[in-house]
Every structure is written in C-alpha cells, then in structure tokens.
C-alpha cells in the first residue's frame, strides 16, 4: 500500500440502480472501509447517474489529488477519462468488498470487474 495514495469512491444513486441494489453496494463500501480502517484513505459518497443504468449498480473510483470537489462538475454524471479513474459495473456487495480490499487497500484495481462504457444497452 502506498500510504500517500488516497481515493474517492462513488456509487451511483439513480432510481434504476437503486432498484438493482446500489444502496446495499454503498453500505458494503462504507462497512468494509470502516472495518479495514481505510476511511481516512478513501472518501465514499453517492454519485449521480452515470448513464450506464443497464450495467448497474456502478462504482467509479478516482485517485484523490486534493482537488476541491465542484458540485457543478460533471464528474458525478459521466466518466472523465482522468488518470487513475476506474469504472466498475454490475456491482454487488461482495464485489464491492473485494474492490475495497484489493483496489483501495492494496492499490490493485481489479481488471476483471471493470465495466465497458461502450457496452450497448
């Protein structure tokens, strides 16, 4: 673990993904971060709808560069293509716990869980 690295983890919260379990995914993220004492290392919050409801629930993780979050930024509604940005689709609480354990705690994004933003609805 690189102790200097920090993350922002966002779980979408539109109606479709809520219906598919995004609240449970968010709860699992919060729980796992707390259990592993990773709260100081990763801010977890609810994003908006990323437009990938057909692949939801969706989780976007970005490296925290210390940039102040702008409430008007489109970052909670779309992928930004920023370095270190990772998009996970079809998340479950189990997958979320694994992402916290490997991506957040060990700095190892899990390629096999990456979403494909070009996948057709």
Site for ligand FES (CB under 6 A): which residue of 7, 8, 12, 33? 12
Q: Residues in contact with ligand FES, total (CB under 6 A)? A: 11
Q: Is 28 a binder of ligand FES (CB under 6 A)? A: no
Pick 53 or 104: Cβ nearer ligand FES: 53
Decide: is 96 part of the binding site for ligand FES (CB under 6 A). Answer: no
Separation between Cα atoms, residue 27 and residue 71, nearest integer Å: 23
The stretch near ligand FES (CB under 6 A) out of 9-17, 28-36, 95-103, 110-118 is 9-17
To ligand FES, the closest distance from the beta carbon of 5 in angstroms equals 26
The torsion angle over the Cα atoms of residues 86, 97, 12 and 65, rounded to 10 degrees, is -40
Give the C-alpha separation, 15 to 60, whole Å.
17
- Beta-strand pair 7-11/42-46: parallel
Asked if 118 contacts 93 with a C-beta cutoff of 8 angstroms, the reply is no
- Phi and psi at 96, nearest 5°, equal -60, -45
Q: Which of residues 60-79 bind ligand FES (CB under 6 A)?
A: none
26 touches ligand FES (CB under 6 A): no
Q: Is 115 in the site for ligand FES (CB under 6 A)?
A: no
Three-class SS of residue 109? coil
- Which parts of this chain interact with ligand FES (CB under 6 A)? 12, 14, 16-17, 49-50, 52-53, 56-58
């Amino acid at each position: 673990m690189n102790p200097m690295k920090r993350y922002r983890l966002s779980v979408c919260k539109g109606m479709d993904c809520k219906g598919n379990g995004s609240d449970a995914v968010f709860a699992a993220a919060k729980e796992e971060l707390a259990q592993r004492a990773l709260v100081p290392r990763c801010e977890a919050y609810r994003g908006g709808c990323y437009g990938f409801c057909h692949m939801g629930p969706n989780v976007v993780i970005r490296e925290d560069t210390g940039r102040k979050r702008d409430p008007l930024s489109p970052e909670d509604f779309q992928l930004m293509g920023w370095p270190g940005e990772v998009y996970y689709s079809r998340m479950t609480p189990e997958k979320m716990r694994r992402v916290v354990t490997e991506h957040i705690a060990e700095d190892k994004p899990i390629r096999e869980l990456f979403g494909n933003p070009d996948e057709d609805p």
